[in-house]
Homo-oligomer: A and B are copies of this chain.
């Protein structure tokens, strides 16, 4: 059968990794795909730079338009990142009738609706497995493997940098800022770490997961996002004592009243498998009404794990390149005309349990005053712990873990508690998910 010809935009970490995997495993890939897959052209920023891959058999250009307009290219692989130039190039490739494979989560989260509409119009595929959780193939598992289910929960550790930092904080008792500096030195975190530590990267990925799980349009703007930069070692340690572990999760929940889309630090029972996913690894839990709980674990980033997903997408395109475009798996798992605009819940409508830490004067009666505020808001309390004052402190920490309730109620209780005379300091509020 005719070979499939690939053009790559960007030969950096992931681009180089993709070229390497395609070359190294060429025999294995052809045995699976039933055709050869060859990279014939790639665009780079600087022709003189040393490459991570053998480029002897492909044409290098500094002009990305040459890749998307190349008449022999069947599949354009977009690995330049960012969303402005990437979007233009992807749309041009689609317009030229090329299939597209991309690892670009920002591009899909922010412009996916437009890109998929264009692809649908042209009858080409745009695959993006590498955009979420690298080599885990979570997109395929949800989109195809769980096609018989009504999915009501996706909860994932989908940013390796953040998970590395939280793991170090917990295991070694090192504060956030110190671990971040190490993560930057190790190459796990960017010089500007905002996207990773403030949850933006995770929010891009959650946007994609929620869309394919629930059949809703991509809507990054509706994701509530909280990072890990404010997290203190005190709460990491208290969570452990209470039998929980703090993970930075992307959570999408659907029920009859709407959808919650949120990214934030979360207490999870320490015995859950996902609570034991450490270092830079990723894991996504998905719950369907037929299958129950599933967990999908693997490397979420890095040259080769990401390349693994890119190559799987290339093979998928290769296998279906002659198929009726209307019989392919829909980009967002659901047929484009069957996406539903489910209501997205505001923050005060979130429903979960809460870990709340107050610093209060060590005087009689304060605990009962606090408890009264929760009762007033109809919030049931699961557990209360009062900590001895630390040496030098003239206050005590009081920790409440609530039962599942509405966040609006919790925030009202906090507001009243913070107005009380014996309460010292800004409350720490961390959401709790039992994931059972």
Q: Which residues of A contact B (CB under 8 A)?
A: 1, 17, 21-22, 24-25, 28-34, 129, 134-137, 140-141, 144-150, 215, 271, 273, 276-277, 288-299, 304-305, 307-312, 314-316, 319-324, 326-330, 333-335, 338, 340
5 nearest interchain CB pairs?
A137-B145, A148-B311, A135-B291, A294-B298, A31-B338
Q: Is the CB of A290 within 8 A of B140?
A: no
Known: A294-B298, A295-B298. 8 other contacts (CB 8 A): A32-B333, A32-B334, A147-B312, A273-B297, A292-B299, A292-B305, A296-B296, A322-B323
Q: Is the CB of A330 within 8 A of B32?
A: yes
Copies in the complex: 2
Question: Most B CB atoms within 10 A — which of A25, A141, A298, A326?
Answer: A298
Q: Closest residue of chain B to A295, judged by CB? A: B297
Question: Can you list 20 contacts pairing A with B, beta carbon distance less than 8 Å?
Answer: A22-B148, A25-B150, A28-B149, A32-B215, A32-B335, A136-B294, A141-B141, A146-B308, A273-B277, A273-B297, A289-B304, A291-B299, A292-B298, A292-B304, A293-B298, A295-B295, A319-B328, A320-B320, A322-B327, A323-B327
Provide the bound-state CA to CA distance between A321 and B328, in Å: 10
Task: Specify which chain B residues have a CB less than 8 angstroms from the CB of A298 in the assembled complex.
Answer: 291-295
Q: Is the CB of B34 within 8 A of A312?
A: no
Task: Specify which chain B residues have a CB less than 8 angstroms from the CB of A307 in the assembled complex.
Answer: 148, 290
Provide the bound-state CA to CA distance between A309 and B135, in Å: 21
Q: Is the CB of A21 within 8 A of B140?
A: no
Q: Closest residue of chain B to A329, judged by CB? A: B319
Q: Is the CB of B148 within 8 A of A25?
A: yes
Provide the bound-state CA to CA distance between A308 and B151, in Å: 11
Task: Specify which chain B residues have a CB less than 8 angstroms from the CB of A330 in the assembled complex.
Answer: 32, 34
Q: How far is the CB of A420 from chain B (nearest CB, A)?
A: 43
Q: How far is the CB of A322 from chain B (nearest CB, A)?
A: 5
Task: Specify which chain B residues have a CB less than 8 angstroms from the CB of A296 in the assembled complex.
Answer: 141, 294-297
Q: Closest residue of chain B to A151, judged by CB? A: B28
Provide the bound-state CA to CA distance between A435 and B195, in Å: 33
Q: How far is the CB of A142 from chain B (nearest CB, A)?
A: 9
Provide the bound-state CA to CA distance between A334 and B29, in Å: 9
Q: Is the CB of A312 within 8 A of B146?
A: yes
Task: Specify which chain B residues have a CB less than 8 angstroms from the CB of A144 in the assembled complex.
Answer: 137, 140, 312, 315-316
* A308-B324 contact given A22-B148, A144-B137, CB 8 Å threshold: no
Q: Closest residue of chain B to A17, judged by CB? A: B290
* A335-B34 contact given A140-B144, A145-B141, CB 8 Å threshold: yes
| Residue from B134, B291, B319 within 8 A of A304 (CB atoms) | B291
Task: Specify which chain B residues have a CB less than 8 angstroms from the CB of A137 in the assembled complex.
Answer: 141, 144-146
Q: Closest residue of chain B to A311, judged by CB? A: B148
Task: Specify which chain B residues have a CB less than 8 angstroms from the CB of A148 in the assembled complex.
Answer: 21-22, 25, 29, 307-308, 310-312, 314-315
Task: Specify which chain B residues have a CB less than 8 angstroms from the CB of A335 in the assembled complex.
Answer: 31-32, 34
Q: Closest residue of chain B to A212, judged by CB? A: B32
Q: Closest residue of chain B to A333, judged by CB? A: B32
Task: Specify which chain B residues have a CB less than 8 angstroms from the CB of A29 in the assembled complex.
Answer: 147-148
| Residue from B30, B290, B304 within 8 A of A311 (CB atoms) | B290
